[in-house]
Amino acid sequence: MIRINLLPVREARRKADMQQQILILGLVIGAAILACVLAQLAMLTSISNGQSRVAQLNAQISEFQSQLQQVEDFKKKAGEIERKLDVIHKLELSRSGPVRLLDELASRSPQKLWITSLQAEGTRIHMKGMSLDTELIAEFLNRINDSPYLKDVELKSTELAESGGLKLNSFQVTAVLTSPEAKTTPAPVAPAGAGTPPAAAPAANG
């Protein structure tokens, strides 16, 4: 009987199987390493893109902040200009107010009615005057109440008085001096000759 020694063949096969397993293991490890490398590269790329986006956003924020600062500066300058214009407007009113007020009272005073006293306390004015009758006082109140320079017109008192031998009606009126913008519709003015002094009253009656 012939005997064949199979040990070398088995050993060779075992070595071949081991080499194949090592090769497969190496391929798996290589694939895992490659996957890790690719994942890391993808992560680095994502981080880089994120950082770039953050840098862009920061640049835009800085630009917007600069524009917002310009807007705030513009608002401050506009506010300062408005305040200066308001001061100028008030100065104009304070300068021209008394002249316009006197002109208003003169033009709106009916004939045979005279303003004898005019005082101011801030924006409130106090007037005293005389007229031939109470109807003229009522007409005067209506006229100055329609004035764009006066508001809150109030008759404080009226009584009979004598001046130069004439029996007249004395009256006291208060009003508040206001801006011409408060009213826009001008009231009808008195006829020419308003504000004639009391001494001329007898001639007017004649």
Domain locations in the chain?
Answer: 64-184
Residue 13 has pLDDT above 70, yes or no: yes
Q: What's the length of the chain?
A: 206
Kindly give the interhelix angle for 7-108 and 134-145, rounded to the nearest 10 degrees: 150
Q: Can you tell me the distance from the alpha carbon of 151 to that of 38, in angstroms, rounded to the nearest whole number?
A: 86
Cβ 127 vs Cβ 96: under 8 Å? no
Q: How many CB atoms lie within 10 A of CB 185?
A: 6
Q: How many CB atoms lie within 10 A of CB 124?
A: 12
pLDDT band for 173, please (50, 70, 90 cuts).
very high
Give pLDDT tens digits for 135-165: 999 999 999 888 888 888 889 888 887 777 7
The residue with greater pLDDT, 82 or 203, is: 82
User: Hey, is 111 helix, strand or coil?
Assistant: coil
Cβ 175 vs Cβ 150: under 8 Å? yes
Residue 68 has pLDDT above 70, yes or no: yes
% of the chain with per-residue pLDDT over 70: 74
pLDDT band for 182, please (50, 70, 90 cuts).
very low
Q: Evaluate whether the domain defined by 64-184 bears CATH number 3.40.50.620.
A: no
Sign for the pseudo-dihedral over CA of 156, 101, 139, 171: positive
Q: Which amino acid is at 40?
A: Q
